Amino acid sequence: MYGPKVKHLDLSYNSIETLKGLEKFGRLEELILDNNKLGDSVTFPFLPYLRTLSLNNNQITNLELLMDKILERLPSLTYLSLLSNKACPNELSDIDKDDSDYQRYRYFVLYKLKNLRFLDSRRVSPRERLEAGKRGEFMRVRRPRDVTDSHLTEHITQPARPLPLDLSLLGKHKGAYGKCHYKYTGKHSEGNRFIVNSDL
């Protein structure tokens, strides 16, 4: 009865796993789905007027799949928020991520969804949109191939060969000895432990 009239719908904190029945709300302009259990299998009905979508704190991990669904089903979207999902690399929700990871995520989303004016909690700047047009295509997250691929399963199912009992059958090995200085190249600081005077 109310579906065709509703323009703003907030379904936060409902443990929702599917959006079945949402197709009856064809005039929606704003949809809030924060703090639910929506995952990568979520499907959106065609909502031509939807401008705002908030999916904070759900279980979305595959960003590229979500972008493709939004492009196909939500053509008018201008505001999107994905904070506290694995698909959104953010220092607050994942200690292994930093600002550069989050910026790469923004470039990729803006490259895919060219009509966005707000992403998460920040307005999209003209400079950021220009940069996303140049670099966004290369910022997608690469995932390892599924182990169900035929050539991978063949490789996995091969029996392991034991090492030979006579190690001389492996051939002669030439070793190398020398000194080297450890140089830390990681993202996280380990203090002054590895800094030598020549590096200052």
Q: What is the pLDDT of residues 53-72, one digit of tens each?
A: 999 999 999 999 999 999 99
Q: What pLDDT is attached to residue 90?
A: 76
Paired strand residues for 122 = 119
Q: Which domains does the chain have, with CATH numbers?
A: 22-139 (3.80.10.10)
Distance, CA of 180 to CA of 15 (rounded, Å): 55
Residue among 130, 142, 137, 76 nearest 109 (CA):
137
Stretch 173-191: mean pLDDT, rounded?
A: 55
Considering only residues 81 and 197, tell me which one the structure prediction assigns the higher pLDDT: 81
Q: Which of 28, 53, 30, 26 is nearest to 42 (CA)?
A: 53
Q: Where are the alpha helices (DSSP H) in 30-98?
A: 63-73
Residue among 113, 102, 97, 94 at smallest CA distance from 52: 113
Task: Please report, rounded to a whole number, the percentage of residues in the chain having pLDDT higher than 70.
Answer: 66
4-to-25, 31, 164 alpha-carbon distances in Å:
6, 14, 74
Mean pLDDT of 15-27: 93
Residues 6 or more apart in contact with residue 196 via CB below 8 angstroms: 181
Q: Tens of pLDDT along 115-141?
A: 999 999 899 999 999 998 887 777 766
Residue 19: which of 55, 44, 50, 52 has the closest Cα? 44
- Which residues are 52's β-sheet partners? 30, 79
